[in-house]
Amino acid sequence: MGMNFSLQTHIFLLILTILLKPGNASIHVYNQESLNEVGNSYLLSGGSEGIFSSSDSRSFVRFDNITFWRPKSAAKSRGLIQVVVFEAADRNNIGGSAYGGQRSICCTSDLSKLQGCKQGEVLRIPSANDINWPIILKLHFSRNSLSTSMKNHEEVRISKTGMYNLFFIACDPKLKGVVMSGKTVWRNSNGYLPGRMAPLMRFYVFMSLVYFLLAVIWFTQYIRFRKDILQLQHCISVVVGLGLFEMILWYLEYANFNSTGMRPVVLTSWVVTVGAVRKTIARLLVLCVSMGYGVVRPTLGGLTSKVLLLGITYFLASELLDITETLEQLQVKRSAVKLDIYRKFSNALAAVVFVSVAWIGYELYFKATDPFNERWQSAWIITAFWDVLAFALLCVICYLWAPSQSSQRYAYSEELGEEFDEEEAQSLTREKPDGDISLVETKDKSAGGTHVFDEDDGEAEEDKRE
């Protein structure tokens, strides 16, 4: 069951953070993209990816069919385009400020005097860790030529794990209006999957295994007590099955992405569709359980259409209110077993809400304190957490409503509930011929005598049974 709890971006307790999993494509495509004016330069962001280094140089950023076009008014000059690749930690090594003034990306006359940079080019300060970084590739327009291209399949090798950024920059004012096309390929040491997403592939293997284990346990009980199965337990079975199917599909989608660098629309659509169906059923499942379905109601009757509507729009507060009302109803009916189930469920739900709110706070702190994605290697945990929490709550529901031979005894409608509870309270009594059921005689096998029980003693004994 997917779950998410932010009041701004999530409507219900059991929706995952995001329908589509986060992460940028490892192949960035540019189609007639314009370089925009920023300060004293014109630039275009070519992308940002977390890349794991490798000793055999299998990690790289490759440039394929990169071509720039300039306006006719600038055709008589030799314009310069610079391709800048740098690690996020070295972001301050691009550009500078003269006398504490406004920061400039391109070298100015004042900066040239102060730092010895070449006026009209990007100001680059060598990294303290590697003087060869940041990397700057230069590309010139030929005179009277309106286009220029990079060497095809040119690569920048990555030898250090980090968050890398790519920018296309022009410092010449005459190059205003330059556009570009082509693509860049970003590869990690183990494949094309972006660094921020790579740990999730292993995570979905783990989630597939735990969902498989849950499915084995659940469906073993389901088949064993198939004659006593409730409609509620059918719904739980669907959620468990879809959860396993979704985790497997996510793994396959990530594995394909990692090997090819592309995300096929058909496969991604399948994953998203299965996930959406699972989340919808899981959301309605929690709502129905909160309304007493499967415990004090065998069906929802005329409420079915309302439940379907609320399954799309209702908020967490409504769900908690339903649980509270159900608890009061069970308290009045003195149904100890049902009340105990709902107490455990509400306690689990409260714990989930508390943990979720705390995690949302951490997520906001994480994003607010990392504007340049320097902690990208641990960012996958943000996504994975909601899957783990959803699975934990599903396990609680599976445990509380596990198939058993006594499943059907709790599936009574609200109208019959009080009558059933009276029968439950008198289950140790037997009616006398004259209709008086206040007393009953039973024999004590060990003592050979008889004992007389009143009605209250019968209720107490029934509670022990339950």
Whether the pTM exceeds 0.85: the reply is: no
Burial of 101 (0-12, 13-18, 19+ CB in 10 A): exposed
Q: What is the residue whose two structure tokens read 């977390």?
A: 50
Q: What is the pLDDT of residue 403?
A: 81
Cβ–Cβ < 8 Å for 204, 272: no
pLDDT tens by residue, 117-135 = 898 899 999 999 889 999 9
pLDDT of residue 438: 37
Rounded CA separation 457/413 (Å): 27
CA dist 464 → 336, 349, 425, 455 (Å)? 10, 27, 11, 15
CB 101 within 8 A of CB 225: no
- Spatial distance between the Cα atoms of 405 and 161, rounded to a whole number of angstroms: 57
Q: How far apart are CA 387 and CA 205, in angstroms?
A: 13
Amino acid of residue 408: Q
335: tokens are 């149904």
Cα-Cα-Cα-Cα dihedral sign, residues 271, 273, 276, 282? negative
User: Kind of pairing, strands 162-170 and 80-87?
Assistant: antiparallel
Which residue, 414, 401, 285, is CA-closest to 341?
Answer: 401
Number of neighbouring beta carbons within 10 Å of residue 339: 18
Q: Ramachandran region of residue 69, left (φ > 0), alpha (ψ -120 to 50) or beta? A: beta
Where does 334-454 have alpha helices with state H?
336-368, 380-400, 414-425
* Cβ(352)–Cβ(395) below 8 Å: no
What does the pLDDT read at residue 463? 42
Residue 298 · residue 412 · CB < 8 Å: yes
Question: What is the per-residue burial (b if ≥16 Cβ within 10 Å, else e) of 169-200?
Answer: bbbbebbbebbbbbbbbbbbbebbbbbbbbbb
Residue 18 CA to residue 239 CA, distance in Å, equals: 18
Q: Residue 382: what are its φ and ψ, rounded to 5°? A: -60, -45
Instruction: Give me the residues of the chain with pLDDT under 70, please.
Output: 1-25, 57, 287-288, 290-339, 342, 405-466
Chain mean position to CA 64? 33
218/224 Cα distance (integer angstroms): 10
Nearest-angstrom CA–CA distance, 226 and 5: 35
Closest by alpha carbon to 42, among 153, 126, 120? 120
Cβ atoms of residues 165 and 85 within 8 Å: yes
Confirm if 183 and 29 have CB atoms less than 8 A apart.
Answer: yes
Q: Which of 215, 225, 228, 136 is nearest to 394 (CA)?
A: 215
Report d(CA 463, CA 394) in Å as an integer.
28
- The pLDDT assigned to 421 comes to 45
Q: Residue 422 is encoded by which pair of tokens?
A: 């009276």
Name every residue whose Cβ is closer than 8 Å to that of residue 353 and which is 6 or more positions away in sequence.
5, 13, 316
- DSSP code for 104: B
